[in-house]
Chains A and B, each alone.
Chain A
Amino acid sequence: MVEYQLLRAHSLDELLEILDQRENVQLLAGGTDLMVDLHHQDQKFDKIDYLLDITAVDELKGIQLGDKKGEIGALTTHAELVSNPEIKEKLPFIAAAASSIGSTQIRNRATIGGNLANAAACADSFSPLIALGAEVVLRSKGGARRVLLEDFVEWPYQTIIKPDEVLEKIVFAMPQGEYYSSYQKIGRRKALSISRISLTLLAEVENGRVKKAQVASGAATPFPVPFRKVNDYLNGKSFAEIDPIEAGNIAADEMVGITGERWSTPYKRPALGKLVERAVEDLLEEAGYNG
């Protein structure tokens, strides 16, 4: 049996104080990952002395999107991301990713911070945020540090968060000018479905050319990474020069380059290629290019 004491923090200061003072503290947000693992008596909890409920910490909540910068508090639920009008309008791929997560009940409880901190290979929040070039703010009593999200995960279920740190918020530069996005997810059923593959493409365009493209995938690689070769392929190209199928092939090769041939590769290679191809087609279509 995992034995622990339950604590609750009411402010960020109190939270940081507890993390500073005590050891072997596990944070509890929505609990949708944590409670499941606890139920299974996962061995990683053998060293847990405290469960610290952070859901009352208001400083970790809220969504602010400015002209240049945006931030999302770690405790923001997926349901809030789905219903937030600004997210829907300016960053629709984030809303799309959030709406694909779990079920209504899960989305009402589960937080974006928990999704990132849990760092499952299939976690759906990574690809939209990596495409945004987002950073996470990790705060401890001693201060805060900012880390690029793509450098945040070391290995599945393992992040660089230190024991005395909390993931406070996610910060990013807002995409500028004319931009388009696409989010796609393949699951085994239509709800409560873990991603087989998810994908975000975000591209700023100017005068019929891709200025800055970011393609990132979830579940395709052990931990989420941007597909740099696809980005390179797209960046600077005029719409006419872009071949969606080729973009798909590049992405598929890049994925296999990272993962090697695995049991799932015969499926994931063509499927990922197809998602990238579709995302690029979406981009061209939305940008009003009709070949």
Chain B
Amino acid sequence: MAFKHVNKGVKRVDAYEKVTGKAKFGADLEFANMLYAKVLRTEYPHAKILKIETSEAEKMPGVKGVFTAKDIPNNLFGVIVQDQQVLAEDKVVLAGDGVAMVVAESEAEAAAALEKIEVDYEELEGVFDPLEARKEGALKLHPEKEDNQVIHHPLRKGDVEKGFAEADVVLEREYTTQFIEHSYLEPEAVVVVPNEDNHLVSVYGSIQNPYATRNAVSAVLEVELADVRVIQNHIGGSFGGKDEVVSAMAARAAVMAIATGRPVKMVNSREESFTESYKRHPYHLTYKIGATKEGKLTAMEIEAVADSGGYACQTPFVTWRSVVQATGPYEVENVKTDTYGYYTNNPYTGAMRGYGSPQVIFAQESLMDELAGELGLEPVELRKRNMYSQGSVTASGQKLDRHTVSLNEVMDKAMEAIDYKNKYEEYSKEQSGDKKKGIGLSISFRGCSLGAEAIDAAASVIQINKDGSVAVYSGLAENGQGLKTIFSQMAAEVLGIPMSEVEFKELDTSFTPDSGSTVASRATLIGGNAVKDAAEKLKQRIMTFAQDKYELDAEVMELKDGFLYDGQGNRLATFADLTGEMGNTGILMSAYGWYKSPPISWDEEKGCGNPYFTYVYGCQIAEVEVDTGTGELSVINMAAAHDVGRAINPENVKGQIYGGVMMGLGYGIMEELELRDGVIQGTNFHDYMIPTIKDMPDIKPVIVENPDPDGPFGAKSIGEPTLELGSAAIANAVAHASGKRIRSLPLNLERVLIGRALHKGGK
């Protein structure tokens, strides 16, 4: 099928306003009579609040109000578990918990007043390691709970004892991963306007998930959802990071906006953002794997322990994705997996691009290379003997037969793109000198969209105006990933109009229907289907009208390039005239689109079922040079092959690949949020290292397309898969180059040279 707009690298619809600086971000917003607010955050990771003295602060110039937990109607919120405090009430559980806030005529006045607030604390002992937090008798951090466990997901298949008995080789390995900062370019920002257009509060800002933020604000204010309006602005990166932290900010600003009757703006500095925002979960992973000498896997036993920090946040779902994907894309008869999350007094952890997959992939794909070494097999060979193919059954018992299982294809294409075989052979030979090259790969399968986490449905609205211009609304949000462009392409494709006729509108929760969160790489797949649905409904209406008007069969006529054709190449009408006429005849020229995902299932007790209705497959290969004399590591080349079903916009897909590979590289070799007893050491980018353009390898993106029966135009997901594979590929390449296996991220100078990390002040 030849497409007109879809499957083409069309220009981003929001490119012009962004490159010309016209795009307004949260911090750019100004409202008449606006106030500014700041939050006082604790430095203690665990302490009782004895007293908060605000009277001095209240007297400071410009101050319009000082607020503490007692001013918050309902102080607890959370998407999954309602345990997160808007402002700490009796106890702070992490260094960064807000304890009080000030609203004033200027930001400087608010900041000055913060310094006058006095808080008496009684410091409490803290727990900073989930392995400690899980021990019997460990200090309980949330007294109302039975213990520190946030969640436990088991998965059982076959009999692992039997499986290990059948194995010729059994390996047991431990891997660890680190805390990661999202590092979005734009720190959090919101403005809350009270009593605007018949809403109690309108929330503007840098918001990833407008509906989740609306839920949180309405829950905190104890008002109806209809009272709260959330309007998303341009967002300077999110990567899963602008959910709960922004919801808390919005709820705080809303309390102050209502109290003062004036718009309230809050913008985090980078330091505030580091201190307050949630992070990617560090994991402690224990893997035991058995295989026959022929390289057939017989059993896997896996335990993954995630650090949830002070709050539950997204830990229950993050660790759920881990339990589904922990074995990697391999057929194993006998599997026993347990994933856990525990409260600690560390910064809390939540959604971040990958969402429970980067950690397990690092472990499991490192392990596959270790096992290959043990068996004397090449890494590719071991994988090929065990990986999923059409009709394979996963660890949770799901048969993969609804879509194309393309592991073999992505692997072969990635290998070809980087000349893997020759390089593997060459670098396997003895290399002289300190600088050694190596090449390593990793593969994954990834469940698309939410899976059995929650109801998975989305809506859209399309409106055809009387002049033929088309407005598209979606309940899912642009996060910078290109959603507006993709949805516009889909609408233009179905309606047969030029892209220039399509206007994508900002998300406004009082207008567009709740479509859940823009997470889990679900926007193109679920939201795209909803856009397509609305467009098809309208097209149907148009063709029915045309059929009557021209007395031609709807099947033979065609909408193309903004014209109606008779099927013989003759134009019958312009899209604008035709739809304008329809509107004047009294035909509704708007339609809602709706899409609900195919059925899925999950048995939480046994850990089995069909957790996702489709999967994507990817392979990344890293070529590295390791300086074995200094520990310096250069990633020279990377190939990334991803099956996206269908690339709605191939240039956008490449953009996702470049960005995801770089984020994965940072995760793999340099990023690490350093904590000392729960306190972040260094809250800006001079301490927290992210890769620069000079660290960027030559990246070869390979788009693999096997259209999915359930995807719009066959499209699936790309956002997260691009990030999850890099660290394992790099670790495998480093081991190939240097002969040294590193089982902890990141692969920094010290780990590469001496095999362990060193910490300031440590021994």
Contact = CB atoms under 8 A, between A and B. Distances in A.
B694 A271 contact: no
A191 B692 contact: yes
Chain B CB count within 10 A is highest, among A186, A189, A191, A264, for: A189
A188 B763 contact: no
Contacts of B686: 36, 194
Given A188-B670, A189-B670, A271 B692 contact: no
Interface string A258-276: 0000011011001100110
Interface in B617-671: 629-632, 634, 670
A267 B753 contact: yes
Given A189-B691, A191-B694, A274 B670 contact: no
A212 B756 CA distance: 38
A102 to B, nearest CB: 11
B748 interface: yes
Contacts of B760: 263-264
A278 interface: yes
A218 to B, nearest CB: 15
B749 A189 contact: no
B691 A267 contact: no
B692 A189 contact: yes
A274 B748 contact: no
Contacts of A264: 758, 760
A191 B695 contact: yes
Contact of B754 (A186, A188, A267, A277): A267
A196 interface: yes
A1 B112 CA distance: 9
Contacts of A191: 692-695
A2 interface: no
A267 B758 contact: yes
Contacts of B689: 188-189
A190 B662 CA distance: 14
A35 interface: no
B758 A274 contact: no
A279 to B, nearest CB: 12
Interface in B706-763: 748-750, 753-754, 756, 758-763
Contacts of A240: none
B694 A267 contact: no
Contact of B692 (A190, A270, A274): A190
Interface string A193-211: 0101000000000000000
Given A103-B692, A189-B689, A274 B434 contact: yes
Contact of A190 (B629, B694, B748, B753): B694
A263 B670 contact: no
B692 A186 contact: no
Contacts of A271: 629-631, 749, 753
B750 A267 contact: yes
Interface in B544-580: none
B743 to A, nearest CB: 18
Interface in B583-625: none
Nearest to B632: A186
A79 to B, nearest CB: 16
A196 B749 contact: yes
A192 interface: yes
Contacts of B630: 186, 271, 274-275
B38 to A, nearest CB: 14
B749 A266 contact: no
B763 A189 contact: no
Contacts of A189: 670, 689, 691-692, 694-695
Given A188-B748, A191-B693, A275-B630, A263 B759 contact: yes
Nearest to A197: B630
A274 B759 CA distance: 22
Given A274-B434, A275-B630, A263 B761 contact: yes
B749 A186 contact: yes
B758 A263 contact: yes
Contacts of A267: 631, 749-750, 753-754, 758
Contacts of B112: 1
Nearest to A189: B695
Contacts of A275: 630
A4 B630 CA distance: 44
Contacts of A186: 630-632, 749
A192 B692 contact: yes
Chain A CB count within 10 A is highest, among B630, B691, B750, B762, for: B630
Nearest to A278: B629
Contacts of B761: 263
B583 to A, nearest CB: 54
Nearest to B752: A267
Chain B CB count within 10 A is highest, among A36, A267, A277, for: A267
A110 to B, nearest CB: 14
A157 to B, nearest CB: 16
A156 to B, nearest CB: 14
Contacts of B762: 263
A188 B749 contact: yes
B298 to A, nearest CB: 40
Interface in B67-123: 112
B753 A270 contact: yes
Contacts of B753: 267, 270-271
Interface in B412-459: 434
Nearest to B269: A39
A190 B749 contact: no
A76 to B, nearest CB: 24
Contacts of A188: 670, 689, 748-749
A197 to B, nearest CB: 8
Nearest to A186: B630
A278 B686 CA distance: 29
Interface in B680-697: 686, 689, 691-695
A192 B693 CA distance: 10
Contacts of A196: 749
Contacts of A190: 634, 692, 694-695
B161 to A, nearest CB: 41
Interface in A230-247: none
A270 B695 CA distance: 24
A186 B434 CA distance: 15
A196 B631 CA distance: 11
A271 B691 CA distance: 22
B624 to A, nearest CB: 13
A264 B748 CA distance: 13
Which 8 A-B pairs give the minimum distances between C-beta atoms? Answer: A274-B629, A190-B694, A191-B694, A191-B692, A267-B750, A190-B695, A271-B630, A263-B762
13 contacts: A1-B112, A186-B631, A188-B670, A188-B689, A188-B748, A190-B695, A191-B695, A263-B762, A266-B756, A267-B753, A270-B629, A271-B629, A271-B630
Given A188-B689, A189-B692, A271-B629, 19 more contacts: A186-B630, A188-B749, A189-B670, A190-B692, A190-B694, A190-B695, A194-B686, A263-B758, A263-B759, A263-B761, A264-B758, A267-B631, A267-B749, A267-B750, A270-B754, A271-B630, A271-B753, A277-B629, A278-B629
